[in-house]
């Protein structure tokens, strides 16, 4: 398992590409938007939230109001992007939320019968990504003529350290394991058509992370710009397909295609699982996660 170095030079290949980023108004999505724009890409943000009052669209930056849980809404977004730019080169399926419920809540209805589980996190963090990957695969393939021979468009999905370890936030962990399964399950079907890769950030400063609380527990929290660099690397490196780049504190490792396989790789990256689990338990006690 070799460390990955991401130089500024490797990011330059995104220039003039058309990039669609879901959940692009905050956190990792916003950092990726900013990095792509800095490198000269055409960027479309899809987000359920409205842009801030000082947000300005341009020839290089567009915004689409997007409910990722709606197939129709996502389809309309891809159609609109094709109308604007004539093609789509890369898609970052980034929209997501943190844990929202105790997945095994034993609540009962007025008749004393078990109530169904709340599937918000699974719907947003997993099922909506399946929608995005399906649509991105179709629209990226529609316009190959502008690309160099052998060059493919790509999709990046967002996993997590919770994708391959015990993490006692049930709905979130189920969803993130599912995203890893998506990459491992359909990669062979996309071979030679569209590249599918994933980023798997450890603790990252976003609006779903209580950064000061976690840092007080002695666990490093990286900035979202560190994750953004791994996303753009996956856009630009035409040899990468089926890769999962784990990042922590600004460091990067490819784990899915590592020597010895995923299990061997992930066994070595979780340097202090007891401390990680302490973070989760403390967050639950503070009701930051359920």
- Residue 139: name the closest of 189, 84, 89 by CA: 89
Neighbours of 61 (CB within 10 A): 17
Q: Please provide the DSSP assignment of 91-157 as one string.
A: EEE-------S-TT---B-TTSPBPPPP-HHHIIIIIHHHHHHHHHHHHHHT--TTSPTT---EEEE
CA 20/CA 132 separation, integer angstroms: 10
- The helix/strand count (H/E) of the chain reads as 9, 8
pTM confidence score: 0.91
CA 16/CA 51 separation, integer angstroms: 23
> Could you tell me which CATH class the domain 9-210+221-265 is placed in?
alpha beta
CA 123/CA 63 separation, integer angstroms: 23
The helix/strand/coil state of 263 is helix
Q: Check residue 218 and give left, alpha or beta (phi > 0: left; psi -120 to 50: alpha).
A: left
Residue 108 DSSP one-character state? B
Instruction: Quote the tokens at residue 195.
Output: 């590249």
Tell me phi and psi for residue 50, to 5 degrees.
-85, 150
Spell out the domain ranges in the chain. 9-210+221-265
Q: Check residue 287 and give left, alpha or beta (phi > 0: left; psi -120 to 50: alpha).
A: left
- Model pLDDT, residue 220: 83
Q: Which parts of the chain have pLDDT scores under 50? A: 1, 271-272, 289-290
- Model pLDDT, residue 62: 98
């Amino acid at each position: 398992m070799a460390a990955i170095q991401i130089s500024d030079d490797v990011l330059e290949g995104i220039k003039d590409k058309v990039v669609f980023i879901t959940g692009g108004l905050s956190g990792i999505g916003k950092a990726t938007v900013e990095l792509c724009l800095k490198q000269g890409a055409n960027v479309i943000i899809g987000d359920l939230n409205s842009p801030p009052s000082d947000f300005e669209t341009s020839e290089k930056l567009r915004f689409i109001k997007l409910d990722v849980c709606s197939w129709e809404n996502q389809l309309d977004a891809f159609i609109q992007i094709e109308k604007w730019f004539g093609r789509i080169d890369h898609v970052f399926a980034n929209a997501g939320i943190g844990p929202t419920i105790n997945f095994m809540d034993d609540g009962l209805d007025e008749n004393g019968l078990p109530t169904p589980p709340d599937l918000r996190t699974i719907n947003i963090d997993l099922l909506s990504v399946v929608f995005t990957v399906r649509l991105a695969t179709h629209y990226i393939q529609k316009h190959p003529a502008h690309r160099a021979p052998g060059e493919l468009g790509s999709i990046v999905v967002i996993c997590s350290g919770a994708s391959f370890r015990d993490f006692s936030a049930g709905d979130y962990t189920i969803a993130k394991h599912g995203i890893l399964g998506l990459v491992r399950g359909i990669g062979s079907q996309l071979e030679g058509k569209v590249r599918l890769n994933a980023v798997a950030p450890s603790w990252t400063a976003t609006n779903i992370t209580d950064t000061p609380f976690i840092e007080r527990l002695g666990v490093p929290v990286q900035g979202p710009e560190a994750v953004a660099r791994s996303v753009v690397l996956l856009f630009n490196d035409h040899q990468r397909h089926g890769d999962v780049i784990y990042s922590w504190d600004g460091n990067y490792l490819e784990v899915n295609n590592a020597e010895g396989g995923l299990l061997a790789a992930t066994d070595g990256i979780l340097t202090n699982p007891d401390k990680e689990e302490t973070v989760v338990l403390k967050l639950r006690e503070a009701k930051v996660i359920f």
